[in-house]
Structure 1
Amino acid sequence: MGITSLNEIAVPGVYLLIFFLGYPSQVLFYYLDPAPLTRNELYISNVVLVLIFITYTKSVFVDPGTIPKSYRQDDKKEHDIAGEKRGDGVKRTKWCRKCDAAKPPRAHHCKECKRCIPKMDHHCPWTANCVSHTTFPHFIRFLFYTSCGLSWLEYLLWIRIANLWENRNMPAYLGPNPFLVAHLFATTVINSITVFALGVLFIRNVWCLLVNTTTIEGWEIERHRTLLRRARHFGGVLQSPDGTEVPIRKQEFPYDVGIWQNVKQGMGTGNPLSWFNPLAATPSLPSGLTFPTNGFEDASLSWPPPDPDRSYRRPAPSANATPFTFAESALSPQESLAAFRERQLADAVRRRKPFVQRVEAQLARDRDGDGLGDGHSIGVSEGVSEGEMSGDEEEHERGRTGEKDEEGEEAWRNSEGERLKDFGVDEEVEFYDEQEDDDVPLGELLARKRAASGTVY
């Protein structure tokens, strides 16, 4: 079943699941010993059901946000954050090639929503919506009330199951009919699986809230650790696709500013009562464009840290290339712009093979060259593939999940086997969204110049 088909049935399916677990079970309990639900139990069950429906509806239908077109011009400070000097000494800009616009910190391009989402956590297939700066409070409230409601239902179910077990030696005609037993069994199995899955998801999201880390940023943190491990064997540097050596040093995650401030930022308010209010207001979009940092790192550093494999790849110029061309001299301005866009898209990314395969290829070339090869290169390669990596890690780096070699570094997976696209991110756009200033469109460079000089044209 394709992603589109899943999106079409996921939301109605979740509503149906909530209805099935919520209402038929109340009728079921009426016919099962030890007794029907009391008035207070009915109140609790139905109030929690309403809270689940409200919070889920909010998670589905609240807009996950978009980056305003005036983002770069409206905030000079944010202009400085989006195009800042990285640890390798090269000034880079977060630029989305599909949106043709600058990206604020923590924003990512969602392949399902078809746009950049502020503080995107992941695209949830069960809400058919992004969990983002604006939807995260509603999403975590939904997980909270669902975990509470399903746990309450689990408690009521096990009371009836325990009663059946205690009276298992009684004549069958004194117990419930087969239909009621089958209904009880089906409800228990479905509820147990659902409460376990959502409980784990709720705990994970609470942890992310406390440390102010999104799911995607967790992937980036693990990626950074992998690069640090690799760089230790190459004197603290790794090569970019064009051969430039990029220094790799440990960089702390900048957005963890303390538990209280993290929770206030994630929930959109510091009022604990509002955290549990299903009708609480959605966080404002502007607050999702700038984020305070903890100051552990130099202000010139940005997140994610430098990654040599994320740089924009351009093919080497041809020996017969000329600095000028007149092939499009007869085109209209609109046609010239369209041709320019096509050339930008044609300037495709040259994917690189996974790291271990590149090291092994270099090792093979060294050995074929003189029988011994460069001692440093071989020692480093063997140290990476044998000394540092365990068998599982090396197999993981080789692509044990069946990924094709040509998918390169954007196909890198974390320890849980996840890659960027598993979070709903447009992987190729996201992985290669760092551009040097000479790769940024001319109009954007002119806009920066005007913003810096304060000149109005």
Structure 2
Amino acid sequence: MLCSSFQVSRLAIPSVSVLISFLAYTSQYFFLYFEPAPLKKQELWRLNIFALCIWICYYRSCTVDPGRISSSWRPRDSKQLEADNATGRQRWCRRCEAFKPPRAHHCKTCQRCIPKMDHHCPWTTNCISHFTFPHFVRFLFYAVLGMGYLETLLFERASIVWAARDLPSYLGPSVTQIGHLFILLVVNSLTVFVLSVLLIRTLWSLGSNTTTIESWEVERHETLLRRARHFGGFLDGPGGVRIRIRRQEFPYDIGILSNIKQGMGGSSNVLSWFWPLARTPARSTGLEFEVNGFEDPHVTWPPPDPDRIPLPQRHLISVGNGAEFSGYGSVEEFNRRKAEDLNRQRAGLNVQRRKRFHHRIQEDLDEGSSSSDHERENGDISHDGEEGWRNAEGERLRDFGVDEDIEFYDEEDLPLGVLIQRRAQAALKQLP
């Protein structure tokens, strides 16, 4: 599977390049020999200018470094870090063994945390991030604009051919020309339709300052809110912890114009938003972002989620007579959990504990493969937790390139303090 995926990714850029070349240049060859309506000089210039803009923006989308997080980066707000730890928000990447800034995610393909990661694009084999997003937007814009213009030229020639359909064949274009025109029209129409949908979605994300991953998180948050309403506003977390789920506003929507300015590299020059050779955002940016102030300044995104909250740290609690036990939180909490487990056992119910992420997702896969088509079609297969949850379009975090293995906590995860301490010790060992 990995080998197949690697082979496909290697063919992505050549395939897109062939598609651009086919539409941009074989169309000009067709127009050159299409006697009823040869290509005008201004039309020729426009086609080649659009093609050049597409090539430049696509090249930059593929080759510009999406960014990386320095291992020395630390959150400035200690209170915010404490609040994140308390609510289980992940500010520590277990792959990179370093702090993770807001809006950053670990890409399983790039093998590092990406600043303001939108998604890993298979057609550019590069991450769409804080640094590559402006180039990607310009590529989609010029691709839709250029192919839209080509569509009008092709449709004009197709109309001429259709109007002369009753004339003798020797008076019209050859069969080869008609076939070429048909293929160009079909391929260009399908491509411009798909890219138009992608451009509209991307412009919506630009205007709302929401990445594709964050749109998924917003929808997930809405789902958790609906579930929590049936349980008094709380959902069960690991170790018997009850997590309060309250509505949290998305913090990075700061107004349409400010959103566009931030997404297009921080420039307020409208012309630079469309200039193919515009500068990549400064490498010093992408770690901190302006917020709208609708929430407490120490509250960060994403909102609390049961599957992203680590199991409470075990510690020894004295119960008198020199005896100690390993539990969670307090003696009262331990006794309450023990009583609940005994009551469940007496009632013939299984005492359920959250299993490790890898075990849970494997059980989901096994259950899905062993279930009948009827069960899958009717949604009878249950997926408990975020790892089995999909948005309205059927997408999971891994579909955007996010490394799911570190987005969800396992029961045996070490506390953040221990991880930080290990990281500091490893850094000291490397010193001469």
* Structure 1 position 309, deviation (Å): 1.6
Q: In the aligned structure 1, how far is the partner of 2:325 from the partner of 2:246?
A: 40
CA contact (8 A) 2:89 2:304 kept: no
CA distance in 2, matches of 1:80, 1:282: 33
Asked if residue 418 in structure 1 is aligned to residue 395 in structure 2, the reply is: yes
- Aligned-residue offset at 1:353: 7.6
- Pick aligned residue for 1:38 from 34, 40, 43: 40
- The alpha-carbon deviation at position 39 of structure 1 amounts to 0.6
Find out whether 1:65 has 2:67 as its counterpart.
yes
Match of 2:305 among 301, 304, 307: 307
- CA separation in 2, counterparts of 1:26 and 1:92? 54
Residue 219 of structure 1: aligned partner:
216
Matched, 1:142 2:133: no
Match of 1:294 in 2: 292
Structure 1 residue 29 displacement after superposition: 1.1
Comparing 153-162 with 307-316, greater Cα deviation is found at 307-316
State the shift of 1:436 in Å: 5.2
Identity of aligned residues (%): 52
Give 1:44's aligned amino acid. Answer: R
Look up the match of 1:432.
Answer: 409
Shift in alpha-carbon separation, 1:411–1:439, aligned structure 2, 3 A: farther
2:16 aligned partner: 14
Structure 1-normalised TM-score? 0.76
CA-CA distance at 1:3 after TM superposition: 1.6
Is the aligned partner of 1:274 residue 2:291? no
**Paired residue total:** 374
Residues 147 and 95 (structure 1), Cα distance of their counterparts in 2 relative to 1, 3 Å cut: same
Matches within 5 A, 1:226-241: 226-241=223-238
Report the counterpart of residue 127 of structure 2 in structure 1: 130
Q: 1:441 aligns with which of 417, 420, 423?
A: 420
Q: Matches of 1:247 and 1:188 in 2, distance apart?
A: 55
CA contact (8 A) 1:93 1:435 kept: no
Change (3 A) 1:276 1:80: farther
Give me the whole-angstrom Cα distance separating, in 2, the residues matched to 1:30 and 1:437: 66
Question: Structure 1 stretch 305-314 or stretch 232-241: which is displaced more?
Answer: 305-314
8 Å CA contact 1:123, 1:129 repeated in 2: yes
Q: Distance in 1 between matches of 2:193 and 2:79?
A: 44
- AA partner of residue 183 (structure 2): A
Distance in 2, Cα, partners of 1:398 & 1:238: 21
Deviation at 1:32, TM superposition (A): 2.2
Deviation at 1:241, TM superposition (A): 2.3
Q: Quick check: 1:5 aligned with 2:2?
A: no
The C-alpha deviation readout for 1:332-378, integer Å capped at 9, x for no partner, is xxxxxxxxxxxxxxx96465589x9xxxxxxxxxxxxxxxxxxxxxx
C-alpha distance 59-350 of structure 1, shift in aligned 2 (>3 A): closer
1:385-426 deviation line (CA, Å, top 9, x unaligned)? xxxxxxx9x955846xxxxx6x85312100100000110111
CA contact (8 A) 1:33 1:163 kept: no
In structure 2, do the counterparts of structure 1 residues 430 and 33 end up closer, same or farther at CA, with 3 Å as the change threshold? Answer: farther
Summarize deviations over 1:169-223 as a string: whole Å, max 9, x none.
1111211111111111111111111000101101111110010000000000000
TM (norm. structure 2) is: 0.80
Q: Is the 8 A contact 2:115 2:287 kept in 1?
A: yes
Partner of 2:260: 263
Tell me how far apart the structure 2 counterparts of residues 32 and 243 of structure 1 sit (CA, whole Å): 75
Give the root-mean-square deviation of aligned CA atoms. 3.1
Deviation at 1:314, TM superposition (A): 8.5
Counterpart amino acid of residue 26 in structure 1: Q
Residue 105 of structure 1 contacts residue 290 of structure 1 at CA under 8 Å; is this kept in 2?
Answer: yes
Question: Structure 1 residue 300: deviation in Å?
Answer: 1.9
Structure 2 distance, partners of 1:314, 1:251, is 24
The separation in 2 between residues aligned to 1:246 and 1:408, in whole angstroms, is 14
Q: Does 1:191 align with 2:199?
A: no
Mapped to 2, the partners of 1:431 and 1:150 lie a distance apart of 42
Map residues 175-186 of structure 1 onto 2, 5 A cutoff.
175-186=172-183
SS in 1 for 2:120: strand
Which AA in structure 2 matches 1:442? Q
Structure 2 counterparts to residues 72-221 of structure 1, below 5 A:
72=74, 76-77=76-77, 81=80, 83-86=81-84, 90=87, 92-221=89-218
Q: By how many angstroms is 1:63 displaced?
A: 0.2
Structure 1, gaps ≥5 residues long: 324-346, 357-391, 400-404, 448-457
Alpha-carbon distance in 1 for matches of 2:134, 2:125 = 16
Q: Tell me the secondary structure at the aligned position of residue 246 of structure 1.
A: strand
CA distance in 2, matches of 1:20, 1:183: 11
After superposition, the C-alpha distances for 1:297-346 in whole angstroms (9 at most, x for unaligned) are 111211000001212359999xxx999xxxxxxxxxxxxxxxxxxxxxxx
- Maintained 8 Å contact 1:94/1:102: yes
Q: Secondary structure at the match of 1:109?
A: strand
> Structure 2: any 5+ residue segments left out of the alignment?
316-323, 327-354, 365-374, 427-432
**Cα distance in 1 between the residues matched to 2:272 and 2:72:** 31
Offset at 1:30?
A: 1.9
Letter in 1 for 2:5: I
Check whether the contact 1:353–1:409 (CA below 8 A) recurs between aligned residues. Answer: no
Q: CA deviation at 1:76?
A: 2.5
Q: Deviations over 1:4-55 (max 9, x none)?
A: 0111010011111101100110110122253111110001000110000000
Amino acid at match of 1:178: V
